[in-house]
Chains A and B, each alone.
Chain A
């Protein structure tokens, strides 16, 4: 069964600090992995998309890594801001399929 597991479930950090969120998946065959940011009451917004051949992708202060061998990904947030408070969702797409497997997300709270 295709699964995406994220850790931690929730995280509280001080403004200006860095943090790293983790994602493990069992989706096979693999096509791509995405990280989404979901603000409360809003739909998810894409941060990064990585295919099998990519192991790092950045979007501003967000840097995602992918190890397709170990089926792990991480999202690193640098110099956090209050507006980074949201749920961060790891989503994996299987090869030849439009269906996505979603993690439950990590709820990040950035406090002053």
Chain B
């Protein structure tokens, strides 16, 4: 596709359930990033992939959060045993390695009831 896509666009879940969020980066982009944006707050860095490896997971807020990337393409962010404070928009971005530019997807709005 022409841009970064994410699915689902919206996800409502019950507290304690697991959720999986998907990101399809721009073809050829080796760098992939996940961010979280809480209401009224700036974007928070979660994790960075270079290829299929994640050299920096420092932003993951707890061990309930994990992410993987396969084929230097699709990435999934998994949140286990969701809590209400996990409610946010989760944004994915991709870019060329070493480049300044990051291209963002539309985000997944997660609501935990």
Interface residue B106 (Cβ < 8 Å from any Cβ of A): yes
Known A43-B4, A43-B91; contact A100-B45, beta-carbon cutoff 8 A: yes
- In the bound complex, do residue B48 and residue A102 qualify as a contact, i.e. CB atoms below 8 Å apart? no
Segment at the interface with B among A14-22, A44-52, A55-63: A44-52
- Least Cβ–Cβ distance between A99 and chain B, in angstroms: 6
Interface residue A42 (Cβ < 8 Å from any Cβ of B): yes
Chain A interface size range: 20 to 34
> Nearest residue in A to B41 (C-beta to C-beta)?
A104
Interface residue B67 (Cβ < 8 Å from any Cβ of A): no
Residue-wise, chain B 1-23 has the 8 Å CB interface mask toward A (1 for contact) of 00010000000000000000000
Expressed in whole angstroms, the Cα–Cα distance for A93 and B100 within the complex equals 8
Interface residue B105 (Cβ < 8 Å from any Cβ of A): yes
Chain B interface size range: 20 to 34
B104 partner, pick from A4, A44, A49, A103, beta carbons under 8 A: A44
B90-108: which residues lie under 8 A (CB-CB) from chain A?
A: 91, 93, 100-107
Which residue among B40, B45, B100 has the maximum number of chain A CB atoms within 10 Å of its CB? B100
Residue-wise, chain A 13-40 has the 8 Å CB interface mask toward B (1 for contact) of 0000000000000000001101010000
- In the bound complex, do residue B100 and residue A32 qualify as a contact, i.e. CB atoms below 8 Å apart? yes
Expressed in whole angstroms, the Cα–Cα distance for A45 and B93 within the complex equals 11
Contacts of B93 in A (CB 8 A): 43
Contacts of A41 in B (CB 8 A): 106-107, 109
Contacts of A44 in B (CB 8 A): 43, 91, 104
Known A98-B31, A99-B56; contact A45-B104, beta-carbon cutoff 8 A: yes
- In the bound complex, do residue B105 and residue A43 qualify as a contact, i.e. CB atoms below 8 Å apart? yes
Binding site for A on B (CB under 8 A): 4, 31, 33, 35, 40-45, 48, 56, 91, 93, 100-107, 109
